[in-house]
Amino acid sequence: MQFIDLQRQYERIKERLNQRLSKVLESCKFILGPEIVELEEKLANFVGRKYCVSCSSGTDALLMTLMAWEIGEGDAVFTTPFTFIATSEVIRLLGATPVFVDIEPTTFNIDPDKLLMEIERVKKERKLRPKVILPVNLFGLPADYGKILKIAKTYELRVLEDAAQSFGGKRDGKFSCSWGDASATSFFPAKPLGCYGDGGAIFTDSDELYQILLSIRIHGQGKDRYDNVRLGLNGRFDTIQAAILLVKLEIFEEELELRNSIANKYIQLLDGKVTTPVIPDGCSSSWAQFSVLADSKEEREQLLESLKLNGIPTAIYYPKPLHLQKVNEDLGYKLGDFPISESISERIFSLPMHPYLKDEELELIAKSFSH
Ligand SMILES: *Cc1c(COP(=O)(O)O)cnc(C)c1O
């Protein structure tokens, strides 16, 4: 059994992939070819945004947006410590300071009440300028944008949605990648909409941000390629990868339904065995991961062992919150600062999740929870 079975999806789309890929190969338009424009239009339409700028990775999507907003030394970016390292890494690369806020115990997303308190604290302390809220939609479930956007408005902060795991997730009838000033997603192969390499995209409704992002994506170019007006990157997405995503996008909505039906089956089968994910009213997840909670660190170890004996692959997202990572040592956080993130990191683990999991496989997984 595979944790994420890309092979089964490939078998399904092989023929159309070959057609679209040979078109790119024959055209030889490898850099920002027509497939890039086609994909960006389709993605922007899908999520309901004015603009999409495809780019080299989810990490670069976050970084380019913060660069465009000229975030730097002395600026505070509020985010969660229970996420992938890229979220705090991009803030630190620009010399700005991540201000961590603990998560909600059931959704694992940033807690809006604690966010409000942290913004107040940073404002009173007057050492850092509050600039951006960077919520992460963990495992595919959108954070509480109702409350977050209200807080952002009150304090005049920008919101950058880390939607690396949540392309296809929904809240109150809106798709992920449609909230806040900008949204960043990832096309890393294991993400809900993954290509066959690295890739990402930024979404926004702002004409100004859109123009700056286009410039940053090509080394800060101005009027033309040899006029450089700001610091930028080589941040482009490959045309070949765009062609792959165009094929995958055709079956994406059906795959989302399959993921949701698998998640519902998991929740039924695992009833009474572990704590299964909670999806708040009005929300749906894109199920980048199906993560469950054991009662204790010891119980998690036993369960992982028993799953392993039955040939079931598992993973732990995330074993160590970002405030306890060595790279973030100089921020001065310590064990005990974010008790919810710390406790969850000791009890959480993820089960295989992809649209092509079979009923027999789900039953085998559930049976492997010896209790
Ligand atoms: C995967 C991920 C990223 C980074 O995306 P890449 O495409 O791998 O650079 C950023 N944030 C979160 C929450 C992620 O899961």
- What is 110-122 written as a DSSP string? B-HHHHHHHHHHH
174-175 and 170-171 strand pairing:
antiparallel
Residue 175 has pLDDT above 70, yes or no: yes
pTM for this entry = 0.98
CA of 363 to the centre of ligand 1 (A): 31
| 65: amino acid identity, one letter | T
pLDDT in tens, 4-51: 999 999 999 999 999 999 999 999 999 999 999 999 999 999 999 999
58, 177 in Cβ contact below 8 A? no
Q: Say what the pLDDT of residue 225 is.
A: 85
User: What residue owns the CA closest to ligand 1's atom 2?
Assistant: 164
Using the atom order of ligand 1, give the atom closest to the CA of residue 188.
Answer: 7
- Ligand 1: centre distance to CA 367 (Å): 32
Distance from Cα 98 to the centre of ligand 1, integer Å? 17
pLDDT of residue 60: 98
- Domains of the chain by range and CATH? 6-101+109-250 (3.40.640.10), 252-367 (3.90.1150.10)
- Measured from CB, residues less than 6 Å from any atom of ligand 1 are 57-59, 83-84, 86-87, 136, 162, 164-165, 186, 188, 198, 200
Query: Do 213 and 202 meet the contact criterion of CB atoms below 8 Å apart?
Result: yes
What's the confidence (pLDDT) of residue 371? Answer: 53
Taking the centre of ligand 1 as the mean of its atom positions, its distance from the CA of residue 209, in whole angstroms, is 21
